[in-house]
Each structure stands twice: as C-alpha cells, then as structure tokens.
Homo-oligomer: A and B are copies of this chain.
Amino acid sequence: MPQANKRLAQGQSSENAPSVTRSITLKDVARVAGLSPITVSRALNSPQLLRPATIARVREAVELTGYIPNLLAGGLASKRSRLVAAIVPQLFNAMFVETVQGLGDQLAAHGYQLLLSLSGYSPAHESELVSAILSRQPDGIVLTGINHAAETRKRLLSANVPVVETWDLTPTPIDMLVGFSHQKIGETIARYLHGKGYRRFGLVWADDERAALRRAGLETVLNEYGIGKAASHMVPTPATLALGRKGLQVLLDSGSSFDAIVCSSDALAQGVLTEAQVRGIKVPGQLAIMGFGDLDFAAHTVPSISSVHIDKRAIGIQAANALLARIEGRPLKQRILDVGFELIERETT
C-alpha cells in the first residue's frame, strides 16, 4: 500500500502538496497513530474509555499532524453542538455587557462557545435571529426579557432546546428563567424616596419595555401615596449622560418644580447630576437623583449616585448554569431564579 505510506509521510512535511491542501481529519490522525478513527475520536471525547498509553499515542499523533477537529461534523453526528446562543438588545447598554461576559466566561469554562446576536430591542428581529440561531443546532439559548413574538415562542418550543429567559420575571417562562422584578424595583424606589420626604417627582426614562415595568411599579406606589402622575421625559436607547442632561433641561424648562429626579439608568442619572451641577442646583439639597443599575461609576461620582444594584454578572453565570444542568441532564433545582436587587443609598438622595 504505497499510497497509504506516502500519505503518512506527508502528514508532517508539506512538500509538493497540491494547491488545495486537504485538511487533516480524524482518519489522518488515526493512520499516524496506528489506531482506528473511532479510537482517536474517543481519545479526544471520552478519554476515560481508553488506557493512558493509547491516549498518549493519539495525543502525539494530534501534535504531529496539527489536527483540528471539525465540530460541524462532530455536531452533526452527535447532535451536540457545544454552542450556546444569546440574544441581547444591544451592547452599548452597559447593563447587558456584564451578563454577556459572565455567560461567556462560565460557558467557556465548561467547553461551550457563545454565539452572540443583537436584537436592537425589536421582537421582529429577535424572531428572525432565533430562526438563524436554531439553524446552528445550539445546545441552549439565552434570551433577554420575557416578551417575544408568538412565532419565537413556537419555534423555540418545537425545537426542543433548553432556553433561559433573563432580566425579567414571569410565572410562565418558555422554559427557564433568571431575572428579577422590575415592578418591585419601581415600588421600592417610590417607597424609599417618599420615606425620605420627597414629593415632587420627575422622570428621565428610557423607552424600553423593562424600564416601563419599573415605571409602572413606581407610579402605582406614588399613586397610593396620593401623588399624581410624575412629569417625565422619555429618551431613546441607549441612554447616555448626554440624554440625561437634556432630560433635566427639558423637565426644568417645562416650568414644573421637582425635588427628586428618578432615572431609568445610572448613565441618565449621571447626566442629570451633571446638569444640576451646571445650573448650581444643590444635590441632594434642592434635588435628589436616583439611578438604576449600579454601574461602576455610580459609587464614585461626587456626590455618589443612589441606585439599585443588580448582580448582572450573576444573571449570566446562573443562566449558563441552568443551561449546563439541563444539557447534561442534571436535575434543575428551580426553573425560575430570582436574583433580586438591592437599593443602594448614596449621596444623591
């Protein structure tokens, strides 16, 4: 079999190779190692089935040939892609970055890779993304939020793939859920600020669906306290410092007077704070400011910004854990995990 021998020799040196170099496959490695392809496959995927000496032979051959497994082929044959997909609205929003990072880190630690898609807050786009994602046969999917197109839900259900929804709470998730209650946060903020004696509220608020929930909670409680609908200025996502400044300008120019501005995110709060300082408004003496998200800067501005802390990274990590448990067939303690939140009182209130 000179043919085979010749090939074997070519394994290492690449002299007179044809223009299109066929890539190294399991078979090549097997030939070099003097084993069957399936044994090589096992050495790489279930080494506990083989004796150490065999594994060493394989490792050597892999080294020698520079073999890189083809996960498309592997996934096709095994029905396991070792891929997890995540959809977040956007990355500009620093909130999601930590979740994605936590998710990515945790998945990587368990041999999974992350396919990231950005929906831009559009359920229609999300729906398309889900189709595209399912094409890759992911072992799990992480979604942001709980409101999805009916189509999305249906596709995910019939694909029979583990799904984790995040960043919100509902008793009826598609599958699993890691989040917290925006409604409760709104309520908590309202009680807290009311308790501190603030009465004339203004809102600088992002136009996204979860922010709307927080707002609903806030207004419900304010209403209970007999405080009417607060004046508000809506801003588009992503919320920035500049939009926060603009927000306070608009609110003040409207002629109303305020003793507290509640913002849907820390970036907006920082903007409101900046604008207040520019105008010589004492914070919190004349005006209190409340943020949300407890981003890294909130504790270190002067004055520091009161906010609501969310363990954003934990959401990613727990989402990964939930998926990993489901994928590996381990029992899941709870389908729904509430990571909670914590109101952080700082100097702006």
Contacts and interface: CB of A to CB of B under 8 A. Distances in A.
Interface in A98-126: 98, 100-101, 104-105, 108, 113-118
A114 B115 contact: yes
B302 A136 contact: no
B105 A113 contact: no
Contacts of A135: 68-71
A281 interface: no
A27 to B, nearest CB: 15
A54 to B, nearest CB: 22
A150 interface: no
A72 interface: yes
Nearest to A114: B116
A66 B73 CA distance: 24
A270 B242 contact: no
Contacts of A300: 240-242, 245, 271, 274
A225 interface: no
A116 B116 contact: yes
Contacts of A114: 115-117
Contact of A118 (B66, B94, B105, B301): B105
Contacts of A118: 101, 104-105, 108
A136 B71 contact: yes
Interface stretch (A155-163, A172-180, A193-201, A340-348): A155-163
Contact of A101 (B73, B90, B155): B90
A12 interface: no
Interface in A73-100: 73, 75-76, 81, 83, 90-92, 94, 97-98, 100
Contacts of A94: 94
Contacts of A133: 113
A131 interface: yes
A137 interface: yes
A232 to B, nearest CB: 21
B271 A70 contact: no
Given A72-B76, A97-B91, A301-B241, A115 B115 contact: yes
Nearest to A301: B274
A271 B69 CA distance: 47
Contacts of A4: none
B115 A242 contact: no
Contacts of A72: 72-73, 75-76, 81, 136-137
B113 A136 contact: yes
A132 interface: yes
Given A68-B135, A117-B114, A242-B299, A91 B81 contact: no
Most B CB within 10 A of own CB, among A159, A240, A297: A297
A26 interface: no
A158 B117 contact: no
13 contacts: A66-B158, A68-B131, A68-B135, A72-B76, A73-B76, A91-B97, A92-B101, A94-B94, A105-B118, A114-B117, A116-B116, A241-B296, A267-B297
Given A73-B76, A91-B101, A270-B297, 17 more contacts: A21-B160, A71-B136, A72-B76, A72-B136, A90-B101, A91-B97, A91-B100, A92-B97, A100-B116, A104-B117, A116-B116, A240-B300, A242-B296, A242-B300, A245-B300, A271-B300, A274-B301
